[in-house]
Amino acid sequence: MAQIKPRTLSGFMELLPARQVQFDRMVEILRKSYSLYGFTPLDTPAIEAAEVLLAKGGGETEKQIYRFTKGDSDLALRFDLTVPLAKYVALHQNELTFPFRRFQISKVYRGERAQKGRYREFYQADIDVIGDGSLDITNEAEIPSIIYKTFTALGLRRFKIRVNNRKVLNGLFAILGLEKQAGDVMRTIDKLEKIGPEKVRAILTDDFAVPGGAADALLALLAAGDPMAALEPFKGKNELFDLGVAELETVVRYMSAFGVPEDHFMVDLTIARGLDYYTGTVYETVMLDHPEVGSICSGGRYDNLAEYYTDKQLPGVGISIGLTRLFSVLEAQGYLNDALVTAPADVLILPMTEELSPAISFATALRDAGVRAQLHCEKKKFKQKLSYADKLSIPYAALLGEDEIQQNKVTVKDLTTGQQQTVTAGEAVALVQAGLAARAGGTPIQEPEA
């Protein structure tokens, strides 16, 4: 029979065990961080009815979505976690308690061209707060504190949360007479950091008929060193603009109260977020030492999450971390902490006789005490068994030979230092626990010294 060459499809992440442990540790930290703020976990189906996922219709989404038929069913793989959330809230609105706070860390699928940092299957880590008819602005100020706490818990230090408000931008466009081109202008200035002010000006004037004076005024404002001061001359000229400025001032004030250090956030009027459904505060988070990576966490306020599924107004605010992409970037930049223990077990138990009962009993005692134990009963030389432990970074070996069995004892060997002690089973458990506690600590991400 002809063998099939094993391969992984382009755009799909597949990790070796040690890296998978690091990735799972990041997910664990995200779950803990989100839970600290009162978010409840949610999981939605990876496959939905195509009409549900494509309720908004056409565009890039329809080009990238994985869509197929099974019998009479028109189905699709979810391409983000926001649309499934909208469906979920609309479907269960009478059973949920609002404001509804949920987090979801799941895989999503997009049939786009695979390239460095771009995946077809990838994890997103989302949080959202959904209100019933209204949602207080305090929630918009709390989101940056969640971003800050989450990334510092992961081990990142040099990052900045950039904040803006879509009402400010839309009001400003109205003041400058750009209401008809607002959507195009919004999407263009969102590219400012990538393509620069000259190209942005050319696109605005040549493609969207923005007057040169208006384009220059807009770009000057976006480049201002003190954005809040630069907004002052425009106050009183547009109601939406004034509301947006007031919201932005409130968010900035509360962010400090929520514990976000001033050197970790800034008001940035260039942050527009290209998606049309954002209506208030918007966020982007960047790594200061690697701006070329772009945003590692983004989101914002929206006023009607589920308008395609229900008449009830369900405003919300949320963020999303592209976890697979972030992990690949951190790995490429050497940020992953390889000193973090990635072993599958804490103790490798090595029976040295044919009688296995004492070794099995000791394995059970370790596990009952919360210590991860692996029993190695293969017919291998002792040196090969220690090599196995070394390759997996298992820190301790427990030896049970004839002498240990006769004395009802265990020899515990520290595979890092080479030291060993022969003690009772109970003492061995305590010895290992103490050693593990001393080794504990560290974060998945370890930034190079500045």
Model pLDDT, residue 134: 95
Containing structural domain, residue 379: 347-439
Is 64 a domain residue? no
326 and 387 both lie in a single domain: no
Residues 174 and 305 in one domain: yes
Q: Is residue 11 part of a domain?
A: no
Are the beta carbons of 373 and 387 closer than 8 angstroms? no
Both 213 and 106 in one domain: the answer is yes
Does 82 carry a binding-site annotation?
yes
Question: Are 109 and 187 members of one domain?
Answer: yes
Asked if residue 399 belongs to a domain, the reply is yes
- Give Cβ neighbours of residue 125 (< 8 Å, ≥ 6 apart): 27, 30, 34, 103, 104, 105, 320, 321, 323
Q: Are residues 304 and 417 in the same domain?
A: no
The verdict on residue 421 lying in a domain is yes
Cα–Cα distance between 409 and 368 in angstroms, integer?
Answer: 18
Can you give the pLDDT at residue 210? Answer: 85
Contact of 84 with 44, CB cutoff 8 Å = yes
**Together in a domain, 320 and 418:** no
Q: What is the pLDDT of residue 3?
A: 93
190 and 327 co-located in one domain = yes
The reported pLDDT for the residue numbered 112 is: 81
In terms of domains, do 172 and 293 share one? Answer: yes
388 assigned to a ligand binding site: no
Q: Binding residue per annotation — 124?
A: yes
* 22 marked among binding-site residues: no
Contact 437, 422 (CB under 8 A): no
190 belongs to an annotated ligand binding site: no
Q: Is 278 annotated as a binding residue?
A: yes
Note the pLDDT of residue 440. Answer: 74
Verify that 305 and 370 share a domain, yes or no: no
In a domain, 226, yes or no: yes
Q: 429 and 310, same structural domain? A: no
SS3 382: helix
The count of domains in the chain is 2
Would you say the C-alpha torsion 281, 282, 287, 289 has a positive or negative sign?
negative
Q: Which of 332, 359, 393 is the last residue of a domain?
A: 332
User: Is there a binding annotation on residue 81?
Assistant: yes
pLDDT of 406 reads 94
Boundary residue ending a domain (308, 332, 356): 332
pLDDT score of 275: 58
Is 385 inside a domain boundary?
yes
- CATH, residue 390: 3.40.50.800
Domain containing residue 27: CATH number: 3.30.930.10
Tokens of 217: 């005024």
Assess if residue 146 is contained within a domain.
yes
Residue 231 in domain? yes
Could you say which residues of the chain have pLDDT below 70? 57-59, 117, 273-276, 339, 341, 449-450
pLDDT of residue 58: 62
